[in-house]
Amino acid sequence: MRLENKTAIITGAAAGFGEAMARRFAAEGAKIVVADLNGEGAEQVASQICQTQPGAAIPFKADVTIAADVAAMIAAAGHFGPRVDILVNNAGYTHVNQPMIDVDEATYDRVMAVNVKAIFLAAKVIVPVMTDQGGGVILNTASTAGISPRAGLAWYNGSKGAAITITKSMAIELAPHKIRVNCLCPVAGETQMLADFMGEDTPQMRAKFVSTIPWGRLSRPDDVANAALYLVSDEADLITGLAMPIDGGRCI
């Protein structure tokens, strides 16, 4: 049980990568706050986790772009005890693949709020908590888009590039407090955002995306969950400031 007696908060945990992380962490002994803007989805995932790991998860409806929601979400971890060992900033948002000047301002603002501002808001609350308790782990979900951008996703690419740089900056500043900060950089995968990344979900567009991945397939939620498990576990004690590609070689 690699996460036994640890408490984790995972945002965007009602589906996709976040759901897979919640299930994987719980299977390894963690107690999970399943946080998502989709409250019903969060309830469903938490309920299913508890069917096999009784009492291991609670749902929490939160908009990660609202400071009060973020503070309440982190406070909800008190259900499991005084510590918050792991925070995964996984909630994400994108715009449809299109020319950069065709993206409207409201969509741009939402992309930046969910993918960048949410990390800021969470840090304002969780860093003092982790500092007082003597350490912790923060894991951000970035993207290969922040390492090797795709055309048509300019503002999404920029938000994930910011997430990577913020991760590295946090890692440097928080290391003296024994708070490790890393980020995941998955290639496009089987999630709700895939159609937006491609512009249209057709066999031809999927083939085009897969052709850029040497390993020959898109990412899967379990690929990301398995990498996340290692980075938040004590086995990765010396690893901080890492932007880990989970990409089948796309960024080589």
User: Known catalytic residues?
Assistant: 156
> How far apart are alpha carbons 112 and 109 in whole angstroms?
5
Tokens of 238: 């010396």
- Tell me how crowded residue 238 is: count the other CB atoms within 10 A of its CB: 6
Count the residues in the chain. 252
Q: What share of the chain is helix, strand, coil (3-state, %, to 5)?
A: 50, 15, 35
Sign of torsion over alpha carbons 23, 25, 26, 31 = negative
> How far apart are alpha carbons 189 and 75 in whole angstroms?
31
> How far apart are alpha carbons 206 and 227 in whole angstroms?
24
Side-chain half-sphere exposure of 129, counting CA atoms within 13 A: 21
Angle between helices 16-27 and 39-52 (to 10 degrees): 30
Residue 48: partners with Cβ closer than 8 Å, 6 or more residues away = 23
> How far apart are alpha carbons 113 and 171 in whole angstroms?
21
